[in-house]
Structure 1
Amino acid sequence: MELNAIEVEIDKCPLCGSCSLPLNKHFHSKAEADLLFAIQKVLPGWTQEDGICSRCTDECRFEVEAMHKSMDKLKMKHLFNFDLDFLVLPIPVRVDADTQYTGKGVTICFIDSGFYPHPDLVSNKNRIKKIIDITNPENTLDNYFSKPHNQSWHGTMTSVVCAGDGFLSGGLYKGIAPDAELVLLKVQDNEGKITGENIVKALEWVNKNHKKYGIRIVNLSISDDFAESFKTNLVSQKAEELIRKNILLIAAVGNDEHAEILPPASSPNIIAVGGVDDHNKLDDFLEPYHSSYGLTIDHIIKPELVTNAIWIPTPILPDSFEMKNATILFELLHEKENFHQLLSDNYKKLGWSNYIQVMSESEAKNEIKKAIWDKKYLTKHYQHSDGTSFAAPIVCSVAAQLLEINPELTVAQLRAILFNTAKKLPAFPQEKQGFGAINPKKAIYEVLEKEPIDIPLEIPNIDLKEEKIVFFTFIPNAKTVSLAGDFNNWKADEVILQPFKDDVWKVELPLLPKGEYVYKFCIDNQWWKEDSSNPYKVEDNYGGWNSVFKIN
């Protein structure tokens, strides 16, 4: 059979110069206004009809989203997975965490199914103070934990989400508390069960040893078997006893909207954490995750806080079937010279039929990409997971930041700070979000002692060498100050300024592309004010002024 040749016009991308089929030429003028603005800043005079390749579109979109969150500038080549053409964002970026605080000097205890001393916890520095099998104390690091078991995975994931330093990802997939120290208590028995009895034993161990190991936070991404009043449930009673000893307990609320809230999450003074779905984007569009929620048997509304519970980068357990599978898939994806030989040697291990061997290399690699996507692999060391089990450790890591800043904070103070700074989600039912989504920077600024700071003469201070822009402003009697402008489509309450002594506020942003920008400050989420320290202004069409700065 003879195939007719089809002539296809291949255009060059006006931004990167590479050939692409096809160029993106259709954008939503309102929903993607930020993206269009970013492209036009780099390519003055560019229109949608000129088009742009998909890779440059993704890079520009990420730069815009990064700007919205005022994150530290991360190089695109380190973030974008060019092999798979998709990106799973790190958690500190997603929740807009202040990465200069790392949980240093704070010890977090994880009570979970089991653990493995993952490289993200021990390679740069061994931060595991103690690891114990509550169900069988004869299991030690040397004779048991040093070898991965199926029971090890869940606890390894929760601890790394909270406190991993990203060793196996070059620092990309690190937690918010990568300097925190850990105590790990395994409570899953040899039959694969996590019983209330063993959770109680773990809590009793913490009660006896918390001073010795300096434990200030306990993460419980597990639950008892049955809903029961905290007045009679032994897990809840032991949990409340720890809280009275000034230890903060944080628990996952569960993943079934129709299920009852179980101990320990149902305990009155434990912070129960539910989930949100940000769709792995930074546009502040959040949807509820299918968390458990509602009234407990004791008529207490849970959860108190919500945060990301899906698209969470988690470690693949070393030496597991999943890691072996992921390793083969990524080796095949990267292989160029001996691809078909490597495929012939490994396709049966992946459970594939002989049919894949008759495919062309490009066709086979597309199937490999699909398999990687289906398995949720990010690299041979990481995958993305979901569940409130991973939302709770995120809250733990933010609490560790607060204790790093002020170790004297009590449980009552920590709870008040986390609750009072949480961001209300207008589209969420009240009972699903509690006080709202955790807001790490606002929580930190609530704790930081306001220090004196020198204000430079030129504001904003544009540092081309360090690739950053620093804004200062003097605003008395303000509770919060944020920065908004045409560079982030005037979205208020995203770029939050840090308060300093004498009513001075400051924020650092990554350097923008060359161009002219206008901006204002938003005070207490309602009042707008131009930058009085910047002499360059233009009319704002509302009877006032926008401040102006240029990057050249």
Structure 2
Amino acid sequence: MFRVRQQVGCTDELVASCNIGRNGEVDDIRVAVLDTGVGSHPDLDGRVEAFYDFLHGGRAAYDDSGHGTHVIGCIGGSGKASGGMYKGIAPYCRLIVGKVLDENGDGNIDNMRKGIEWVLDNRERYKIRVLNISIGIGHIDDKSRMNELIRTVDAAWDSGIVVVCAAGNMGPEPMTISPLGASKKVITVGCHEGGFFSGKSSLCEDYSGRGPSPYAVKKPDVVAPGTDIISCNVACRSTFRGYKNSYTKKSGTSMATPIVSGAAALLLQKYPYLTNEQVKRKINYSATDLHEPWTKQGWGMVNIGRMLSL
């Protein structure tokens, strides 16, 4: 996450400026995450305010995959186990977590829909402002169920929540945006490294989902780094010498998406009166043009420094 924060202009000074409110008090932004759950990690201590397991109905937080913990670390890990080196984009945010995927990262439409409805039902209770969905869903034969899921995603957006969805990893052919990211309303995030790994093969940008979508010609909206992202490892353990196995690398649009969710959280932390439409415009209009086709990069690479100055 250190190099990612550098790439997207997320300096410590900017993050600190977003945490200065009237009389020194700030109401931390709540980010909901629907994924494989969240494990115990020092970077997330005291940050998870609610958890629900849609697979088994439990309320005790866990993550039997590690995917969700990694994603959540990208959004708002404090960096405690690394002296701040691998902290997330919005380290002051609070987290509302729903487990909709199993230990293999697999799930079904019904649990995904129930998860989004749960976020909607608890939006005011937990003051949820951002919803991160780092889940790429493949082709769904049942069009009616797919349309119902997209309507639920749109309902979350219409409620005022900033919904950020992964473009999926089914590229590079056209029309390979994940169905959840295909919605015209949500912020759809693809992968791009901006030339950081010059000459390296197997970059996330090579298989990131491409637009257009059946519902919006201009997709994805923006891109963010998604290759070899270092973030929280669910296998982290405390020892007498400190922490062991604190971080791990993962790649995919699942890792790019929380970068943008973190950016939205930072923006709302600084300007809590913004609507989700205003947040989307600021993220899109401040992005750095990478001179790639729109179907690959959208508006460009998310640029947090420019976003906060617009």
Q: TM-score range by the shorter chain?
A: 0.7 to 0.9
Q: Is the 8 A contact 2:55 2:111 kept in 1?
A: yes
Name the residue aligned to 2:107.
Answer: 194
Residues 194-253 of structure 1 deviation map (CA, whole Å, 9 limit, x = unaligned): 111101001111111100001000000013443577996122111111111110100111
Q: How much has 1:267 moved relative to structure 2?
A: 1.1
Residues 357-378 of structure 1 deviation map (CA, whole Å, 9 limit, x = unaligned): xxxxxxxxxxxxxxxxxxxxxx
Query: 1:266 is aligned with what amino acid?
Result: A
Distance 1:248 1:388 in 2: 18
Name the residue aligned to 2:25.
Answer: none
Distance 1:438 1:315 in 2: 22
Query: 1:247 is aligned with what amino acid?
Result: I
Q: Is the 8 A contact 1:224 1:235 kept in 2?
A: no
Q: Is the 8 A contact 2:204 2:252 kept in 1?
A: no
1:110 to 33, 36, 39: 33
Q: How much has 1:156 moved relative to structure 2?
A: 0.3
Q: How much has 1:281 moved relative to structure 2?
A: 6.8
Are residues 121 and 440 of structure 1, via their aligned partners in 2, closer, same or farther at CA, if it must alter by over 3 Å?
Answer: same
Are residues 191 and 425 of structure 1, via their aligned partners in 2, closer, same or farther at CA, if it must alter by over 3 Å?
Answer: closer
Q: Secondary structure at the match of 1:218?
A: strand
Distance 1:383 1:232 in 2: 33
Q: How much has 1:140 moved relative to structure 2?
A: 2.9
Residues 109-149 of structure 1 deviation map (CA, whole Å, 9 limit, x = unaligned): 00002221321110xxx111101102222x232xxx35x52
Relative contact order higher in (CA < 8 Å, ≥ 6 apart): 2
Q: How much has 1:382 moved relative to structure 2?
A: 1.6
Alignment map for 1:329-348 (pairs within 5 Å): none
Q: Is the 8 A contact 1:230 1:236 kept in 2?
A: no
Alignment map for 1:440-459 (pairs within 5 Å): 440-446=304-310
TM-score, normalised by the number of residues in structure 2: 0.85
Query: 1:443 is aligned with what amino acid?
Result: M
Q: Percent identity?
A: 29
TM-score, normalised by the number of residues in structure 1: 0.49
- Is 2:127 the counterpart of 1:127? no
2:177 to 238, 245, 261: 261
Q: Secondary structure at the match of 1:183?
A: strand
Residues 252-281 of structure 1 deviation map (CA, whole Å, 9 limit, x = unaligned): 111221373222111111111001124657
Are residues 279 and 315 of structure 1, via their aligned partners in 2, closer, same or farther at CA, if it must alter by over 3 Å?
Answer: farther
Residues 494-549 of structure 1 deviation map (CA, whole Å, 9 limit, x = unaligned): xxxxxxxxxxxxxxxxxxxxxxxxxxxxxxxxxxxxxxxxxxxxxxxxxxxxxxxx
- Is 2:289 the counterpart of 1:424? yes
Are residues 231 and 296 of structure 1, via their aligned partners in 2, closer, same or farther at CA, if it must alter by over 3 Å?
Answer: farther
Query: 1:305 is aligned with what amino acid?
Result: V
Residues 395-441 of structure 1 deviation map (CA, whole Å, 9 limit, x = unaligned): 01111111011111011111111111111112x12211111111111
Q: Is the 8 A contact 1:91 1:175 kept in 2?
A: no
Query: 1:163 is aligned with what amino acid?
Result: G
Q: Is the 8 A contact 1:301 1:431 kept in 2?
A: yes
Name the residue aligned to 1:413.
Answer: 278
Q: Secondary structure at the match of 2:107?
A: coil
Distance 1:278 1:424 in 2: 10
2:188 to 272, 292, 306: 272
Are residues 270 and 242 of structure 1, via their aligned partners in 2, closer, same or farther at CA, if it must alter by over 3 Å?
Answer: same
Distance 1:99 1:218 in 2: 24
- Is 2:245 the counterpart of 1:380? yes
Are residues 385 and 279 of structure 1, via their aligned partners in 2, closer, same or farther at CA, if it must alter by over 3 Å?
Answer: farther
5+ unaligned residues in a row in structure 1: which ranges? 1-87, 332-378, 447-552
Q: How much has 1:387 moved relative to structure 2?
A: 0.7
Residues 455-510 of structure 1 deviation map (CA, whole Å, 9 limit, x = unaligned): xxxxxxxxxxxxxxxxxxxxxxxxxxxxxxxxxxxxxxxxxxxxxxxxxxxxxxxx
Q: How much has 1:91 moved relative to structure 2?
A: 2.3
Q: How much has 1:191 moved relative to structure 2?
A: 8.0
5+ unaligned residues in a row in structure 2: which ranges? 20-27
Residues 307-328 of structure 1 deviation map (CA, whole Å, 9 limit, x = unaligned): 1111311222226xxx89xx9x
Are residues 433 and 231 of structure 1, via their aligned partners in 2, closer, same or farther at CA, if it must alter by over 3 Å?
Answer: farther
Name the residue aligned to 1:472.
Answer: none
Distance 2:205 2:137 in 1: 24
Name the residue aligned to 1:140.
Answer: 59
Distance 2:307 2:263 in 1: 8
Query: 2:132 is aligned with what amino acid?
Result: N
Are residues 197 and 300 of structure 1, via their aligned partners in 2, closer, same or farther at CA, if it must alter by over 3 Å?
Answer: farther
Name the residue aligned to 2:120.
Answer: 207
Name the residue aligned to 2:258.
Answer: 393
Are residues 272 and 191 of structure 1, via their aligned partners in 2, closer, same or farther at CA, if it must alter by over 3 Å?
Answer: closer
Distance 2:105 2:284 in 1: 35
Q: Is the 8 A contact 2:73 2:231 kept in 1?
A: yes
Distance 1:420 1:279 in 2: 21
Q: How much has 1:288 moved relative to structure 2?
A: 4.0
1:306 to 216, 223, 238: 223
Work out the number of aligned pairs and report it. 290
